[in-house]
Structure 1
């Protein structure tokens, strides 16, 4: 087991955690999401922008079709989110909105061109992108934003507040691994967005020495002496020998990760683009979260008179809305007071009625029957309210009486289902027809036969439908006289002579012949004349 922590260690640890939480809350956080159907490529662009804004963004934010902008605003406050980057797509263009929470403003951009991370990385021979680069926020670089114009200054302020600020005196160079560039073109009014990976290498030494400083040791099999590697720098590829100049060489104020990067030594800063790449154009700037006054519009320009007229209309609408809200609140308060007064009146009436009932409780009610239970006083609360106030009570004013009524109705229904004491169980089943079997049992039916579609009326009115009378002495299944049994499907011969002629049966020997007569005409199978 390790040594237990002392009080000072616990105190310092808790203090460090508190400082880290405060620092995390003080930096800006962002949501990057899309609205509407944007397609596969714009959806991947949203994921790439989340990668740029790491680590102070929601990496796995899930957006549903039902979600509105108000939903994101409502949860942004508790989570400390300060900026929204919203992508959308129309049939013509791709749009991007940049909003500052909670009260705006909102900047509308049109995305003229864009390239994804996979497109930028695939075009490079060597790319430098690893997960450790995204553990720290990128360094922001603004170019050509000093141009006069309110919209330009507002854009620059919005971009600066999207990323954490850097204290030059306290910043650690090892925490700077990436940089984001916003470059403004005053002529075309376009903004170029680029995302780079940052690398620092020492300068002032030959390529051979640089190779020795790296982790991979060069192949020296072709050299006779090590001086050839240090002086000539042979056997090195051109891609490793990058040209550095005054534009990227600087003196390091502190140690930097990498071999040879020491303080007070010159080193070269190299940038490698890792994407995504965007070309933006500002369309308009609006107050609030998309519902305020338009501060700037690149396509529509209005005079001061038109702007003042629009503002007056908006103020009139706001006043009307405020008046409606106040009137509604007053109406709600009046209804509440009236309801309370009516409730007090009904309760006073109930108390009086109960006091009178208690005085007369000893006197027996002659009208009360033994079979019926005594009425519950609380059931008449609704009636008391009607008499005292003269109005119907609300549904939730007397919930107990409502429940009692429902229970009484259910009891009455149960009593109706029970049999009366004067009738026997046999009488209750007398209406249902009886089915009898072969041993003299038959189906009996009382009342008139059903008349309707599909029913045939019997000749005798007294006979029930479907009732058969069997001759006495015959067993069930016997045939009547005149009915024949065409069991094997006898055939008649063609010809007129043999049409009505009787044939001897091939049954039991010694029995006389009989003629075959059918109740409805010909029976059996007859052959048609001619060939089939």
Structure 2
């Protein structure tokens, strides 16, 4: 039978992955998406949909348990290049959405007013567009109306942008932009609407019949003697769809995947919503990882004196925590030192007891035999457990009530 597979330490395996991965993957922002709080199947589905948005740089099959804490995910973040964590927290009264910048913050807390799952968005669409290839590349992030007053808007916009890799316009391959993610801020209601779209590029300037042939759809030519009859037939001689907006027409600088989308040719860019939808409101921004100074709060406004008092309180708690940690380390070292001394004292006492037993055995040997024992007979061995010396025949050790074995001799019959 062959031996089992040799186990490899996770840190060693992760280091090997880092060495084999290209720099653009290592430097790209990665994410964890989890859900906490009360159990709800809709929240679990929403978590899976949001992981789909964050692909390909996210843990799509992340297995989380109730016993897992936030610090467990933070401790693993450095090994897997994880820079952000998104948390859906279900409480009895509301659903909150938290975005954390690992490992030291800041932390943004949103209140979710409405959400729609991806399957509901796709099922309600007139033309359903869904392709697995859309999720092989990160989406294009679009920020709308985040230029208002307040540092919290800039911080919120930069947080959303930094969750996804940046795009170099000079080197980007247009064929990799298959999705876009829209964050739109309403300054009156203070709500942020998130929408997720699939990008489709179709050629324009073609007759509808020609467009069908170019797209690969096999037309029905039963009533046509030639292809020309199909192309010039009434009802097929119109241009592209009447509802197609001319503002969506662009001249492609590169050839894009799809039939008819060639370089320097005019095409139309269409968006198809694939979900999920989120409508949320920023409630709080904390300096640390779910702790620390509150940089922004939507409901509570504090004066500078209250902020200064809160900073002093936080600093006092931090120093007290450091002092307790220092005391714990000192107590641990003192206990280890005391335990070593106790073990040393126990070994010393055992050595003395063994030495006294050896002296007793030597004196007993002298009293019974009538001569001094050899030096090697009762020599004490301190390095290992000492065995009792073997006494002459007919004698036993003193601690076992040793006495001469006086057995009666057998009488021999006289001849």
- Which structure shows the bigger proportion of residues in strand conformation? 2
Separation in 2, partners of 1:118, 1:42: 13
- Aligned partner of 1:261 in structure 2 is 261
Q: Partner of 1:506 in structure 2? A: none
1:220-369 counterparts in 2 under 5 A?
220-222=221-223, 229-230=230-231, 234=235, 241=241, 243-338=243-338, 340=340, 362-365=362-365
- 2:396 corresponds in structure 1 to none
Deviations 1:389-410 (A, max 9, x none): xxxxxxxxxx989xxxxxxxxx
Distance 2:262 2:19 in 1: 33
2: CA distance between counterparts of 1:170 and 1:108?
35
Higher relative contact order (CA 8 A, sep 6+): 2
Distance 2:328 2:222 in 1: 93
Give, in whole Å, the separation in 1 of the partners of 2:236 and 2:206.
Answer: 17
Tell me if 1:56 matches 2:57: yes
Structure 2 residue aligned with 1:180: 181
> 1:335: Cα distance to partner?
4.5
Q: How far apart are the structure 1 equivalents of 2:66 and 2:334?
A: 41
Q: TM-score, normalised by structure 2?
A: 0.77
Q: Which residue of 1 aligns with 2:157?
A: 156
Q: Give the Cα–Cα distance (whole angstroms) in 1 for the partners of residues 73 and 57 of structure 2.
A: 16
CA deviation after TM superposition for structure 1 residue 94, in Å: 1.4
In structure 2, how many angstroms separate the alpha carbons of the residues matched to 1:233 and 1:376?
Answer: 119
Contact 1:98 1:108 in 2 (8 A): yes
Question: Counterparts of 1:302-451 in structure 2 under 5 Å?
Answer: 302-338=302-338, 340=340, 362-365=362-365
Corresponding residue number in structure 1 for 2:167: 166
- 2:14 aligned partner: none
CA distance in 2: counterparts of 1:146 and 1:187, whole angstroms: 13
Distance 1:54 1:233, change over 3 A: farther
Answer yes or no: is the 8 Å Cα contact 2:292–2:314 preserved in 1: no
- SS of equivalent to 1:284: strand
**Structure 1 residues 144 and 19, CA gap change in structure 2 (3 angstroms):** farther
1:260-283 alpha-carbon deviations (Å, 9 max, x no partner):
211111111000111111111111
Match of 1:496 in 2: none
Are 1:91 and 2:92 an aligned pair? yes
Distance 2:326 2:54 in 1: 44
Provide closer, same or farther for how the CA distance between residues 350 and 217 of structure 1 changes in structure 2, counting only shifts above 3 A.
closer
Q: Structure 1 residues 244, 367: CA separation in 2 closer, same or farther (over 3 Å shift)?
A: farther
**Alignment RMSD:** 3.6
Q: 2:232, 2:195 → 1: CA distance?
A: 38
Q: Which ranges in structure 2 are unaligned for 5 or more consecutive residues? A: 1-17, 369-376, 387-415
Quick one: structure 1 residues 359 and 193, their matched pair in 2 at CA, closer, same or farther if it must change by over 3 Å?
same
Report if aligned partners of 1:108, 1:282 keep a CA contact under 8 Å in 2: yes
CA distance in 1, matches of 2:286, 2:385: 56
In structure 2, distance between residues paired with 1:192 and 1:114? 10
Distance change >3 Å, CA 307–CA 375, structure 1 → 2: farther
What's the secondary structure of 1:128's corresponding residue?
Answer: coil
SS of the residue aligned with 2:48?
helix
Judged with a 3 Å threshold, the aligned counterparts in structure 2 of structure 1 residues 367 and 32 are, in CA distance, closer, same or farther, namely farther
Structure 1 runs not aligned, ≥5 long? 1-16, 369-373, 382-398, 402-532
Shift of 1:209: 2.2
Instruction: Report how many aligned residue pairs link the two structures.
Output: 364
CA shift, 1:346, in A, is: 6.2
- The match for 1:7 is none
C-alpha distance in structure 2 between counterparts of 1:367 and 1:320, whole Å: 70
In structure 2, the partner of 1:28 is: 29
Give the deviation of 1:359 after TM superposition.
7.6
Decide whether the 8 Å contact of 1:208 with 1:233 is kept in 2. Answer: no
Check whether the contact 2:194–2:277 (CA below 8 A) recurs between aligned residues.
yes
| Paired residue secondary structure (2:159) | helix
Shift in Å, 1:192: 0.8
Instruction: State the match for 1:125 in structure 2.
Output: 126
Corresponding position of 1:111: 112
